[in-house]
Amino acid sequence: MTISVKVPDLGVDAAEVIELLVKPGETVKKEQPIAVLESDKASLELPAPEDGVFVSWSVAVGTSVKEGDALCVIEVAGADAAEAAEKPAEAKSEVASEPKASAEPVQEAKAPPTAKPAEPKVADKPAVVSVAETAPSKAVHAGPAVRRLARELGVDLAALPSGQGPNGRLLKEDVHTWVKSRLSQAPASGGGSGMNFGELPPEPDYTKWGEITLTPRSRIQRKSAENLARSSLMVPQVTQFDLADITELEAFRLTQRDRFKADGLSLTMTALAAKTVAYLLREMPQFNASLSRDGESLVLKQYVNLGIAVDTPNGLMVPVLHNADRMSLREIAEQLGVLAEQARSGKLPPAAMQGASFTISSLGGIGGTAFTPLVNWPEVAILGLSRASKAPVWNGSAFEPRLQLPLSLSYDHRVIDGAAAARFTTRLAALMADIRQLLI
């Protein structure tokens, strides 16, 4: 008999079909991956629920699907066929994205093709729109994803006309279109340039100067770009630079490296930095906070969840060490290894990328002397680590070679001032110079 395979619970409102792995007529085995879906921050492999012969697809590459939608038809045999037809395939594995701590769910409903407006450019999306002159709030017909987008952009949904969805339901396109229209009405800015805030000059015709190649970006890369653009517009950011003398810390790492390796673990400087930062965030909780939307309150978090940026073939992803302040160094090293491997192999669960309260981005394995990481809103700070190098340091009587680790702390200047940032990096450098202080 034939069964219709349904889309399982994705953990997000919807996802896009990016790859179909089998063709009609092929034999499939239970748990064999048959399709790959991609949401804003994760890719999911969907397995076959039973052994059988693949009959047909109910979707195509590029189709947006949600839980319960028909995925495909498989011809199976045996007593379990009827039972298999009743339950959707289970997602076998999932993969993250970029860093953000702050990704948007995929649109849960589609507008009619004839009514769908053009997608606004990335630069148009992140702006915060004032709603002081809008009508008083009233009941609106919109889903959770649309309401969340409206909150992030500062839009009162009551100010929007009826949406393009069924029965006037508001969609994300309606919010983006309204924001773009308000920006186009804003006073000209930029020192008399005549350009309205949020507008970009026309894109040049690059082919006039030679051949070009268009390379599509993954959904993860696109959403990361949107989040970073939003953060750069919303958050007044400053970066504090410092150096940490990690000569003794590196010596300690080398003495413990083989013990960790014997257990299949890798003791990296990032793990040691994460342990130190988790401790320091308890001392200086304003760096582990968020600013409320109205700017009247500071949300002080009673947990320390560290986002750790990971470079992967699919782009930058930021898995999260939840409750890092409660972990031992060995637990941090173990969890970092698991999350990094899941991110690089395409099996990182969406839940592993959510809830970060502070982020660490390390480029030490690549190089560089310093950089300016962007704060991952709604976090208020991010720490960048560059490659450590030896430098002569005066000890009071002579110069001696010391291993120096460059620190780059970017922070939200609305929450953290320069003095606090300098105290943070100074204290962090002191802790890393003598990690035994974490025992006090």
Tell me the C-alpha distance between 303 and 322, whole Å. Answer: 8
What 3-state DSSP class applies to 86?
A: helix
Query: What's the CA gap between 83 and 5, in Å, rounded?
Result: 12
Where in 129-273 does DSSP place strands (E)? 188-189, 195-196, 237-245
The alpha carbon torsion through 92, 148, 64, 72 (nearest 10 deg) reads: 40
- Distance from C-alpha of 278 to C-alpha of 323, rounded to nearest angstrom: 9
Backbone angles phi, psi at 13, to 5 degrees: -65, -40
Contacts of 363 by beta carbon, 8 Å cutoff, 6+ apart:
371, 384, 385, 386, 387
Q: What share of the chain is helix, strand, coil (3-state, %, to 5)?
A: 30, 25, 45
Task: Tell me phi and psi for residue 58, to 5 degrees.
Answer: -100, 0
**Which backbone phi and psi does 228 adopt, to 5 degrees?**
-70, -40
Q: What's the CA gap between 422 and 234, in Å, rounded? A: 23
Other CB atoms within a 10 A radius of the CB of residue 147 amount to 15
Selection from 203, 164, 195, 159 nearest residue 179 by Cα: 159
For β-strands 52-57 and 15-20, DSSP reports them as unpaired
| Catalytic member of 141, 176, 322, 413 | 413
Phi then psi for 405, rounded to 5 degrees? -105, 115
Do 129 and 182 contact (CB within 8 A), yes or no? yes
Annotation says 413 is catalytic? yes
Determine phi and psi for 48, rounding to 5 degrees. Answer: -70, 135
Residues 331, 6: Cα–Cα separation, whole Å: 38
Distances (CA, A) of 57 to 63, 64, 92, 163: 11, 14, 19, 32
Catalytic positions: 413
